[in-house]
Amino acid sequence: MRSLAGANIRAHRGGFVGMFVAVLFASMLVTGLGVLIESGIRGGIEPQRYAGADVIVGGRQSLVVKEDVDQPFAERAPLTAGVADELASVPGVARAVPDISVPLAWSGRPVQAHGWGSAALTPYEIREGRAPNGPGEVVVDDAEPARIGDRISLAHGGIADDYTVVGVAGANPTPDRAAHVFLSDGQVSSLSPRPGNVDVIGVTAADGVSANALAERIRERVPEVETYTGRARGDAEFLDAGSARTELVMIGISFAGTAVMIAMFVVASTLSLSIAQRRREFALLRAVGATPGQIHRLVGREVMLVAGVAAVAGTVPGFVLADYLRSRFAAAGLLPADFALAFSPLPAVAAVALSLITARAAAAVAARRPARINPVDALAEASATPARLGRGRMVTGQVLGASGLVISLLPAVVPGQAALAGAGGAAVLLMISVGLLGPRLVSGAVAAFGGPLRRSGSPALFLAAANTRGNARRLAAAITPLALAIAIGSVQIFVQTTVAAEAATQSREGVVADFLVTGTGSGLSPAVVDAIGRTPGVEAANPVARSQVYVPRFDGESTTTERYAAQGIDPAATVATMDLQVESGSLDALAGRDTVALSSDTAQTLGVGVGETATLHLGDGTAVSPTVVATYGRGLGFGDVTFANEVVRAHTTSGLDDSILVRAEPGRQSEVGAALAAAGYTVTDRDGLGAAGESERSAQSWTSLIALSVLLAYLAVAVVNTLVMATAERGREFALLRLVGSSRRQVRAMMRAEAVMVVTIASVVGTLIALPPLVGVSLGVSGQPIPAISPVTYAAIIAATVTLGLIAIAIPTRARLRADPVAAISSRE
């Protein structure tokens, strides 16, 4: 069997080249995504300031979910200062140094301030002058222009203070993530938003004690902390490293699943086309006694020989693809620019295994028809490709299609992210359904096209109609990848635009303030809110602090964690500045961490109403069980969870507000605007307040587009691959047409007509696959069935796909027509 398979591969190189290309690119794609998944586990950022510590000790920085990926907290989880004394008593600890970071602004740019005592953890040392000893003294980096004796202004939360430079420190290497200044330990503690707490504690090991052994001792003595050693110390220093890990794992898993599904479609389509081109050969084998099992084994052996080489060859460019994706994700803001990937053979091994499994499964499906055909009927059917489908295939396709339509409409009756995700995922079921029912659907579409073409009076159009009617399977193999590209592109892009458009609408319509005030650095302090509130002509000043809230939920089988955008506001100033579209209860009841307001969708998802208790984790992981006092409609625009301002602000890393909404007294808008600008604040109109989660959605949108572009590039290769194979195998048909009197021009006209039919049907089918999920998502987020579809973007998707299809058919047609018709018709198939 092996020798026969090898002989077949040599004799049908053209058919197997298509499959080789499909598997090679599938392996490359899965390898690249596998590297991202592994990097989410083992990759990270090298420590900079904490490079001098053997072990970094911090609070629990993620919510542990046994059945799911741990959810990293958006804010830093603090440690009580007393933990440093506990650590100092652990055997093997030479020194335990607490560290606090405070965001400041220096000449309009952000800097991080630390106590000089924590410099022992860092590569910094005094190059000139001395360490700060009291309030108003600062040590600056030697890269800064300030020198000893200079007076500089450092602002915290919009309130500036003057400091005297008493020392200049340098580091080798110099931390490049942020600019740093050092104050006295007492000064930093007074500025810290969490008195009595520290950010992390750096531990130096005693001689002869390894970092890992010491970390284990620390966890045994103080089990409520997390320890970091080696590169993982960068996770403690940079919170975005931990969230980047989780995002990489989720992106990798999500798109790897989609990539495998696409690979299955593409390989199966390519292989089916290849086998269809050899139908006479298989018919002869069945007629001379080959059993169905032998046909299956022959096809399987051929596929494994070709796919094995292709899968291995695709792993090397897969590692290059991973690095390219990392750079693109970093540019989009999803990953830190200095996040390092982890490379090992595991992604390549997994990619080869998945590629071979996918190819073998596709071979089993493609071999069913030649293996099942009756030996007596084999040669009679050898030259025809009827659209008749097996009963099992028909039923499966219909069930999947109906399921996809039902799931698409879930958001209309079921609230929450799960329903939206289900609606987006319904496109997969519809795609598989179209793949299974392709020949039958194509036959119906061809019937609609065929009548006008046959009545046109043009020989070329008549031949095109006859060809498409008699070769529905071949046509379906060409249409499926084109429709798949349109459907995937439309769903991935327009789900994002639909959600973003509704969020922007809610934010725009819900802000009734006159001005939005922001500051330099990382936020605004409560003192600034008070100062603005006392400004003549100001009716109300509403501070807005933004963060994340985490809700663990048990769905009957497993526990998952939902992440929601949260805001902290001043209930007394809300009516004058913000309209959340309250549907039940009252925002006036918000007071302290024991009360909360939820968006209506979130309340329904959690199964709670006004007067009931919800279990939540704030941005730094603090568990709370507040009573719901109100529900509102504009959750996408302002956040699904609303607390009193001091609750959210107290559990953010900076302890500051993000912005302040200001309402002026009637007729005094110009006066108030001028006064705020004169005070040095950044003042914009009400449209300056972005929708809650806007930056996160933007990063996720760009991430989806980047990953989507890679998937669509693979689909483009598959489309060209399939169409070239389908067209190139018709050399004998073209030769016969020319020998009976058709000119090259007439044959090309026939193929142009067929190509137009292919791309038109693909455009319609791809659009119809995408519409139900998009309508479902639109119903879920806005209550309206019309999704936010950009006509220009949609036209670009269609135009790119159509152009690709037309070119992929035209070029091999011209190539085949150059051959001598007598030589071509006498050649073997």
Q: Name the residue with tokens 């003057």.
A: 162
pLDDT digit string, tens, across residues 487-540: 888 888 888 888 888 888 888 889 999 999 987 767 899 999 999 999 999 999
Identify the domain boundary among 176, 211, 243: 243
Identify the domain boundary among 688, 714, 748: 688
Contacts with 753 (C-beta within 8 Å, 6 or more apart), sequence order: 453, 460, 461, 464
Are 545 and 495 in a shared domain? no
The beta-carbon contacts of 704-707 under 8 Å, at least 24 apart in sequence, are 704/492, 704/493, 704/496, 705/492, 705/493, 706/325, 706/328, 706/329, 706/332, 707/251, 707/255, 707/325
- The yes-or-no verdict on residue 805 having pLDDT over 90 is no
**Across 447-475, average pLDDT:** 72
248 confidence band (pLDDT: 50, 70, 90)? confident
Looking at residue 385, its pLDDT comes to 53
pLDDT digit string, tens, across residues 724-768: 777 777 777 888 888 888 888 888 888 888 888 888 888 999 999
The total number of structural domains in the chain stands at: 4
Residue 405: inside a domain, yes or no? no
| Geometric angle at alpha carbon 459, from 454 and 463, rounded to 5° | 65
693 confidence band (pLDDT: 50, 70, 90)? very low
Residue 423: inside a domain, yes or no? no
- The yes-or-no verdict on residue 470 having pLDDT over 60 is yes
Packing angle of the helix pair 744-782, 391-408 (nearest 10 deg): 40
Residue 428: inside a domain, yes or no? no
What is the rounded CA–CA span in Å between residue 284 and residue 379? Answer: 7
User: What's the whole-model pTM score?
Assistant: 0.81
Are 36 and 57 in a shared domain? no
Are 6 and 32 in a shared domain? yes
Are 99 and 122 in a shared domain? yes
Are 654 and 764 in a shared domain? no
Are 474 and 556 in a shared domain? no
Are 473 and 603 in a shared domain? no
540 vs 285, higher pLDDT: 540
Q: What is the domain range of residue 79?
A: 49-243
- The yes-or-no verdict on residue 697 having pLDDT over 60 is no
CA gyration radius for the chain? 33
Are 811 and 719 in a shared domain? yes
Are 70 and 173 in a shared domain? yes
Q: Name the residue with tokens 């809230």.
A: 549
Residue 161: inside a domain, yes or no? yes
Q: Are 787 and 778 in contact (CB under 8 A)?
A: yes
pLDDT digit string, tens, across residues 64-86: 877 667 788 989 999 998 999 99
Identify the domain boundary among 655, 688, 721: 688
- The yes-or-no verdict on residue 382 having pLDDT over 50 is no
Are 666 and 518 in a shared domain? yes
Are 204 and 308 in a shared domain? no
Are 62 and 175 in a shared domain? yes
pLDDT digit string, tens, across residues 22-58: 889 889 989 999 999 999 888 888 898 998 899 999 9
Residue 264: inside a domain, yes or no? yes
Residue 582: inside a domain, yes or no? yes
Residue 303: inside a domain, yes or no? yes
